[in-house]
Amino acid sequence: MSLYTIKTLRPTCYMLIGVPGSGKTTWVLENHPSMSYASTDKYIDQFAAEAGKTYNDVFEASIKTATSRMLDDVADFITDMNDFVWDQTNVTKKSRATKIARLVKEDYQITGVVFEVPKNLKERLASRPGKNIPSHVMESMIKNFEMPTITEGFSKIIIAENE
């Protein structure tokens, strides 16, 4: 007896694009709560909780490990051909290029989900105790934000509504 696998649909990666506090993680929880999920913040939050500390307290010491684990997750999702969400800022074409090249090589459809800077960004950021992004970092991300284009390798680009 022979077994055949027929691939009928290409898997999808939802690549989130937006500054911290723009609603990316909230969008995932509201739209794809059970989908596989790649994020460094997921691990940093986990490390902080395990240590009884804040995100800021553990960020510097744990970002390399969090990044490594997130990339391992991505590799697993790709190996299993799972749909997944890639939740990072991805605000520049350069920051997206390697990720997109890898996904295109693996025959993924890539949907860019863009989160514009919300009018109430300062309030949103202030509502996250223990998770402060330095103002110069935020200003740089906002200044350097590049709207994604289909020519980068996206199959589709949508603009998420934020309140």
* Spans of all domains in the chain: 12-37+83-160
User: What pLDDT, on the 0 to 100 scale, is given for residue 86?
Assistant: 98
The DSSP H or E segment spanning 70 is helix 55-79
User: What pLDDT, on the 0 to 100 scale, is given for residue 161?
Assistant: 80
User: What pLDDT, on the 0 to 100 scale, is given for residue 76?
Assistant: 98
Residue type, 66: A
The mean pLDDT value of the chain amounts to 93
Is the domain defined by 12-37+83-160 classed in CATH 1.10.760.10?
no
Residue 40: alpha-carbon gap to chain centroid: 8
Q: Are 18 and 140 in contact (CB under 8 A)?
A: no
User: What pLDDT, on the 0 to 100 scale, is given for residue 9?
Assistant: 80
User: What pLDDT, on the 0 to 100 scale, is given for residue 7?
Assistant: 53
pLDDT in tens, 66-103: 999 999 999 999 999 999 999 999 999 999 999 999 99
- Between CA 93 and CA 159 the distance in angstroms is 16
- Between CA 71 and CA 77 the distance in angstroms is 10
Ramachandran angles phi, psi of 118, nearest 5°: -70, 150
Q: Are 86 and 13 in contact (CB under 8 A)?
A: yes
Q: Is 57 exposed, middle or buried (0-12, 13-18, 19+ CB in 10 A)?
A: middle
- Between CA 50 and CA 47 the distance in angstroms is 5
Predicted TM-score (pTM) of the model is: 0.90
User: What pLDDT, on the 0 to 100 scale, is given for residue 128?
Assistant: 87
Could you say which residues of the chain have pLDDT below 70?
1-8, 162-163
